[in-house]
Amino acid sequence: MGRSYDSRWSLHGMTALVTGGTKGIGHANVEELAGLGAKVHTCSRTESELDDCLLEWKAKGLHVTGSVCDVSDRAQRESLLNTVSSEFNGKLNIVINNVGTNIGKMVSDYTAKDVAFLTSTNFESAYNISVLAHPLLKASAAGSIVFISSIISTKPAYFAPIYGANKGAMNQLAKHLAYDWAGDNIRVNTVAPAVIKTPLAQRYFFWQFFEGHEELIETAVSRTPIGRLGEPEEVSAMVAFLCLPAASYVTGQLIYVDGGMTTNGIYFPHKKIKNTMSCVSLYVVGKL
């Protein structure tokens, strides 16, 4: 019984592909899955970054390999999946479609080139990687795909309309794949983070928009009941859960990892709440 229970919470013997695994949430996903026992293959467009990460993971005793790949390019996607198939003997348990990027503009300012680039990177790559991986996932007899979306897929955000639309399409794609591939014993789910402390968030939120506007950061935090921004490891923990045998009855779901931001609360001034509660407590015990 003990061994059976433990196996539900382990990825030992499983294989995984994580796209864009050298930074932010992708990096956290690689470490989370490998830390739970999976053999992981990841990719990056930048060879030097990939090499540095591979050395880091080797030093940590994690079983991670990698390829240089731009997943928006058809030939490179196909080469990546051929490598994965060869490395894992034609079987794959897990695919994490993590790659994503943004160009910060108002909706009317995007060029056709901008839209094509964002759509090919954020949506089409995830769709095509999933389709290419389908035979390998089916061959494993226990497959799981997780798409990394965003709360912007369901809530509008400043300077990210095409990114949000791409992620919304991803949400819907995941539901269709969950329906179509359930008979192949492949589960498909989506994780939608809020603002997480990653290079992408720093580039498009902090550096570009929040520099010198600390009140904007405070506003974002004030709309989050937990009262802070998220960490990559808090997203990767949910991703890993969805890949575990323990999640065997979970498919077709969109799960927010957002500190409660999508509860549609309006304002959560934590300092004021704490001060107010202190006053209430003092009043209750007869101190005021």
Q: Active-site residues: which are they? A: 163
* Strand spans (E) along 63-165: 64-68, 94-97, 143-148
Minimal CA–CA distance to 31: which of 248, 243, 237, 256? Answer: 237
SS3 235: helix
* Helix H or strand E segment including 257: strand 254-257
d(CA 265, CA 225): 8
**Burial per residue of 178-200, b for 16 or more beta-carbon CB atoms within 10 angstroms, e otherwise:** beebeeeebbbbbbbbbbbbbeb
